[in-house]
């Protein structure tokens, strides 16, 4: 429109100058080179100058309009491409909900080729690639999101999780430390840092991190949080013991036993330490104290080993006698007393004690194995065979199991699909095989 108006104005002025030229017919010499000239009227020269100026103005306006039109066309085209890209993202979301992950990934990649900074598309692509088992591609997408918005620390958390799945603990650790440096207090980052320390078997840093978590949570800390902290207290004591800082380690173990009297490992570690110092009485007392607090049979095994290794079986027999008086109906005490007699070749006493255990828990497989061995040593082979049959279930109909070829799940009844891993047509007869064999012995 502006060009047309300028052109109309140019025509009007040209007509006006033509009329003036008729009234002013004077001629002048017009040099258009050093040696050439021509005669023109004053009005013709004025009209020529005006025409050139007007042409330049019209040309400039025309160029401006063409440039503006081109810019508007490009903007409209880019807008259309971005709208198409957004449509692809919406389509990808629908495909994800329908479980068509490969098609969704293709749509998202096409969308990102148009709009590489589309955060929603990058987030979706990361989730899709993670679900498809392509953590490296997921990391690339999330790294781009992190570059777009470095202030979003949730992206750092997601990236750290992906690096952990890829077993790249160094990159995961550096991202989590960046979160800690940025926010100061971030319990989620602390928990992930703690887990990385645990994977690296760095128990003291893991202990420190768990201590910070408990302090931050305060009364909202869960029993699981406290249980993990107690376990890390134990691990720190073990590290201190290995470093030769035995006084500090002993103090920590005693404090842990006082605070958590059912923590078995603390009793055993402390018992082994005081035994190494030659204090067998205290070592035995700690194992007894642990059994009384937890009723865990591992303490009976440790007591038995202590008696054999120190060549003082009479002291262990005395301990078992006291325990039998204290816990006459305790199956484990009766069983391990008989087992210890059997280990000492005291077969009559072993049979007597194991029969008492049988009266308490008659269906225990381990009991019948020990009874069978004790009876065999006494020459009572028929009774021994009966107990072996009882232990191994020979009176029951023996069924050859099926085993899943994918996950190893065993079952007596064939199924068309494994309930554990979901694979169809995976069950086959498993006749069993022995990879490792060791001679039988009474421990």
Average pLDDT value over all residues in the chain: 83
In the chain, how long is the greatest CA-to-CA distance?
Answer: 154
167 DSSP assignment: T
Q: Does residue 189 contact residue 211 with C-beta atoms inside 8 Å?
A: no
Q: What angle do CA 227, 231, 236 make, to 5 degrees?
A: 145
Dihedral (Cα; 219, 224, 227, 233), 10-degree rounding: -80
pLDDT tens per residue, range 384-422: 888 888 777 654 444 557 788 888 888 877 776 788 877
What class, spelled out in words, does domain 328-397 have in CATH? mainly alpha
Q: Is the dihedral of CA 428, 434, 436, 442 positive or negative?
A: positive
Percent pLDDT > 70 in the chain is: 85
Decide: pTM greater than 0.85. Answer: no
Q: How confident is the model at residue 433 (pLDDT cuts 50, 70, 90)?
A: very low
Task: Give the pLDDT of residue 108.
Answer: 84
pLDDT of residue 436: 38
- For position 278, what pLDDT does the model report? 87
- The CA-based dihedral angle spanning residues 310, 315, 321, 325, taken in that order and rounded to the nearest 10 degrees: -110
Query: Domain residues of the chain, as ranges?
Result: 2-77, 261-322, 328-397, 399-432
- Rounded mean pLDDT of 331-346? 89
How far is residue 10 CA from its own chain's centroid? Answer: 77
φ/ψ of 35, rounded to 5, equals -120, -10
Angstrom distance (rounded) from CA 428 to CA 219: 53
DSSP 377-422: HTT-HHHHHHHHHHHHTTTSPP-PPEEETTT--EESS--SB-TTT-
Provide the pLDDT for residue 1: 60
pLDDT in tens, 246-287: 999 999 999 999 999 988 889 999 999 999 998 988 999 999
pLDDT digits (tens, 9 = 90+) for 73-110: 887 877 777 777 778 888 888 888 888 888 888 888 88
Q: Whole-angstrom Cα distance, residue 267 to residue 274?
A: 11
Tens of pLDDT, residue by residue over 34-74, are 777 777 666 666 667 767 777 787 788 778 888 888 888 88
pLDDT digits (tens, 9 = 90+) for 356-376: 998 998 888 888 888 888 888
Helix axis angle for 135-148 and 153-165, nearest 10°, is 160
CA angle 118, 124, 130 (to 5 degrees): 135
Which burial class, exposed, middle or buried, applies to 315 when counting CB atoms under 10 A from its CB (0-12, 13-18, 19+)? Answer: middle
Q: Is the pLDDT of residue 171 over 60?
A: yes
- Interatomic CA distance for residues 180 and 178, integer angstroms: 5
So what's the pLDDT on residue 440?
42
Distance CA 285, CA 279 (A): 10
Q: Is 50 exceeded by the pLDDT of residue 441?
A: no
Which is more confidently placed, 381 or 255?
Answer: 255
Would you tell me how many other CB atoms lie within 10 Å of the CB of residue 135?
19
Of the pLDDT bands very low, low, confident and very high (cuts 50, 70, 90), residue 12 is confident
Q: Please name the residue ranges forming H helices in 277-330.
A: 280-294, 298-309, 313-326
pLDDT 10s digits, 195-232: 999 999 899 999 999 999 999 998 899 999 998 999 99
* Contacts (Cβ under 8 Å, ≥6 apart) of 195: 164
Residue 161: its H or E element: helix 153-165
């Amino acid at each position: 429109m502006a060009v047309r108006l300028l052109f109309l104005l140019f025509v009007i002025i040209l007509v006006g100058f033509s009329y003036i030229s008729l009234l002013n017919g004077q001629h002048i010499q017009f040099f258009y080179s050093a040696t050439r000239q021509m005669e023109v009227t004053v009005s013709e020269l004025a009209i020529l100058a005006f025409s050139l100026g007007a042409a330049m103005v019209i040309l400039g306006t025309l160029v401006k309009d063409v440039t503006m039109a081109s810019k508007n066309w490009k903007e409209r085209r880019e807008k259309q491409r971005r709208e198409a890209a957004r449509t692809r993202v919406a389509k990808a979301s629908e495909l994800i909900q329908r479980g068509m992950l490969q098609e969704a990934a293709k749509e998202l990649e096409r969308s990102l080729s148009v709009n590489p900074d589309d955060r929603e598309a990058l987030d979706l692509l990361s989730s899709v690639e993670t679900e498809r088992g392509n953590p490296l591609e997921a990391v690339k997408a999330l790294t781009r999101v992190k570059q777009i918005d470095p202030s979003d620390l949730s992206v750092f958390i997601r990236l750290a999780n992906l690096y952990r799945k890829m077993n790249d603990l160094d990159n995961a650790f550096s991202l989590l430390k960046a979160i800690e440096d940025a926010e100061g207090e971030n319990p989620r980052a602390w928990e992930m840092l703690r887990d990385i320390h645990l994977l690296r078997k760095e128990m003291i840093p893991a202990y420190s991190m768990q201590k910070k978590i408990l302090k931050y949570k305060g009364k909202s800390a869960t029993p699981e949080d406290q249980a993990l902290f107690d376990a890390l207290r134990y691990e720190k004591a073990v590290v201190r013991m290995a470093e030769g800082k035995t006084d500090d380690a002993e103090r920590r173990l005693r404090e842990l036993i006082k605070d958590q009297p059912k923590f078995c490992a603390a009793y055993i570690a402390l018992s082994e330490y005081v035994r190494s110092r030659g204090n067998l009485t205290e070592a035995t007392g700690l194992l007894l104290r642990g059994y009384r607090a937890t009723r865990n049979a591992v303490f009976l095994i440790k007591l038995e080993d202590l008696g054999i290794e120190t060549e003082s079986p009479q002291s262990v027999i005395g301990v078992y006698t006291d325990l039998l008086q204290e816990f006459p109906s305790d199956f484990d005490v009766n069983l391990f007393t008989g087992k210890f007699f059997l280990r000492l070749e005291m077969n009559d006493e072993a049979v007597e004690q194991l029969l008492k255990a049988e009266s308490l828990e008659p269906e225990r497989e381990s009991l019948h194995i020990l009874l069978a061995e004790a009876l065999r040593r006494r020459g009572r082979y028929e009774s021994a065979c009966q107990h072996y049959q009882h232990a191994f279930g020979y009176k029951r109909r023996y069924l050859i199991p099926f085993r899943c070829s994918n996950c190893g799940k065993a079952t007596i009844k064939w199924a068309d699909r494994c309930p554990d891993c979901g694979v169809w047509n995976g069950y086959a007869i498993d006749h069993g095989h022995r990879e490792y064999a060791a001679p039988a012995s009474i421990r």
